[in-house]
Structure 1
Amino acid sequence: MRDQPEQQAPPVQRLRIRYAKRGRLRFTSHRDFSRAFERAIFRARVPMAYSSGFNPHPRISYAGAAPTGAASEAEYVEIGLAEVQDPEVVRRALEESLPDGLDVVDVVDVVEAAGGSLADLLEASHWLLDLEVDPEQARSAVEAFLAAESVSVQRMTKKGLREFDCRAAVVALSAEPREGGARLDLVLRHGVPSVRPDDVLAGLASVGGLTTGGAPLLTRLSQGPLDPGTGEIGDPLRMRG
């Protein structure tokens, strides 16, 4: 019989962290970021709490990670600490330890944050999609998409090819001209199955004939609680439960 592992003490403090993926670091996968973040935690000497069991792990919870290749101003992670720390001190230490392009934007104590789990607070995302397409073609495709009751798209998943409706998740969608093409302004409700910006682009191609010339630049501006009346997204680190 193996000896039972030592039980670790529960965290004395939990911090929620907002970070950004910018520039070339938008191509960082979630797995790459988690490795970089754990190395930064170690270099910054953040006093982490650990899980119990034969292979203790630092108490880190990730939520709502953007797809690889998408830039983001609103990625979130929660950590559990073995000692109480000043959130601003932790923010500065992590900012110095992470590579440029993975930038810590904000750190708050969970007791000062909104109620509910972090994952539950991330109800929707606000995206900008920069495309190399004719603005009028983009606007026409958006009108056709919004007029449709449902738009079926397919995506390859770990369980094989899956078909689902991407229209129901779209809270708001508009198109405006930009230098060299068009910009789509998109608010997506999170759910199951998860609908991503590239699914919406596939839907626009299906119902509106929209074809993108080059790779679109996807940028998440925010994610958080969704106001059903206004369609606006709140700050999950600042709103009260």
Structure 2
Amino acid sequence: MQRIRLRYTKRGRLRFTSHRDFQRALERALRRSDVPMAYSAGFSPHPRISFANAVPTGSASEAEYVELALSAHRDPELLRAQLDESLPNGLDVIDAVEVRTPNFTDRLEASSWELRLDGVDPDEARAAVAAFLAQESVEVQRQMKNGLRTFDARGAVVALEVAESQVGAGVSALPESSTDIPAGRGCAILRLVVRHATPAVRPDDVLSGLCATADLALPVPAGVTRLAQGPLDVESGAVTDPFAPDRGAAEALPTEAAEPQPV
């Protein structure tokens, strides 16, 4: 049995697809591409597919991960291209590696996010970020399966800054439904790095914390995109490539050991 890890995206309107929607789309793509899937044992066998840290519905992502177990050997890059062609635009498979190392989910220590705050003045956003980072703890609430839960949104935040702004962009840069936003307010772009914790601190929790500490109000919902997830470099605060150990292990193998041998 061969295992392959894939990195895929959720872009554009496809950010509104649920995790279950993507599962169904992937299973159809696997059938169309004649991928030799390995199946679980038992009364109701199903394809051996493992997902990791799915992005919340409504958020875009450049770094979602899934692992496939195959019953026959396939070239990872060829498999990536076949699945990418079979999936709708917006669900794009952009990277693939053969599994060489264990404990992949343990490597997903943190995520890097971009938050687009249309109608928010960049200077106002900077002041709110400074107020948030100055706190040792910022309690927020979120409705969960077991009811309303209160937790700290500050402790998991590694970095938060106003990375880019569009001063004076006004209503022309906003969706048609956002005509109530005053012209000249512009757009603030936040860059956020957050550790994966329990409970998971999501970008909307951080936005709730900005509202709690600095009364930052959003005229329209934020546009949220996950840029990366993987190991956290403590010194730089950067999120690094979780596929790097698999690539390194493959490069360390002798050529004859890396290639499949005839049976």
Normalised by the length of structure 2, the TM-score is: 0.84
Structure 1 Cα separation of the partners of residues 234 and 64 of structure 2: 22
Partner of 2:117: 131
Identify which of 102, 106, 111 aligns with 1:116: 102
Partner of 1:228: 234
Partner of 1:103: 92
Contact 1:139/1:176 (CA < 8 Å) preserved in 2? no
Aligned residue type for 1:62: F
- Pair 1:190-2:179 in alignment: no
Partner of 1:214: 220
Identify which of 10, 19, 29 aligns with 2:8: 19
Identify which of 43, 48, 52 aligns with 2:32: 43
Alpha-carbon distance, 1:177 to partner = 4.6
Identify which of 101, 126, 131 aligns with 1:144: 131
Deviation sequence 1:88-128 (CA, Å, 0-9, x none): 110111011100100000011012xxx33221111100000
How many residues are paired up?
227
Sort the Cα spacing of 1:168 and 1:83 in 2 relative to 1 into closer, same or farther, 3 A.
same
Structure 2 Cα separation of the partners of residues 164 and 105 of structure 1: 35
Partner of 1:7: none
Structure 2 Cα separation of the partners of residues 95 and 19 of structure 1: 9
Contact 1:131/1:181 (CA < 8 Å) preserved in 2? yes
Alpha-carbon distance, 1:234 to partner = 1.0
Aligned residue type for 1:46: V
Q: Secondary structure at the match of 1:45?
A: coil
Contact 1:70/1:219 (CA < 8 Å) preserved in 2? yes
Contact 1:151/1:203 (CA < 8 Å) preserved in 2? yes
Q: Secondary structure at the match of 1:231?
A: coil
Structure 1 stretches of at least 4 aligned residues deviating more than 3 Å after TM superposition: none
Structure 2 Cα separation of the partners of residues 32 and 123 of structure 1: 25
Aligned residue type for 2:195: R
Partner of 2:70: 81
Identify which of 144, 152, 164 aligns with 1:157: 144
Structure 1 Cα separation of the partners of residues 109 and 192 of structure 2: 14
Alpha-carbon distance, 1:176 to partner = 3.9
Which sections of structure 1, spanning at least 5 residues, go unmatched? 1-11
Alpha-carbon distance, 1:135 to partner = 0.9
Contact 1:21/1:101 (CA < 8 Å) preserved in 2? yes
Alpha-carbon distance, 1:44 to partner = 0.9
Alpha-carbon distance, 1:227 to partner = 1.3
Q: Secondary structure at the match of 1:75?
A: strand
Aligned residue type for 1:196: R
Aligned residue type for 1:124: A
Structure 2 Cα separation of the partners of residues 164 and 116 of structure 1: 31
Which is greater in Rg?
2
Identity %: 59
Structure 1 Cα separation of the partners of residues 157 and 86 of structure 2: 37
Which sections of structure 2, spanning at least 5 residues, go unmatched? 167-185, 250-263
Q: Secondary structure at the match of 1:106?
A: strand
Structure 2 Cα separation of the partners of residues 229 and 135 of structure 1: 27
Alpha-carbon distance, 1:136 to partner = 1.1
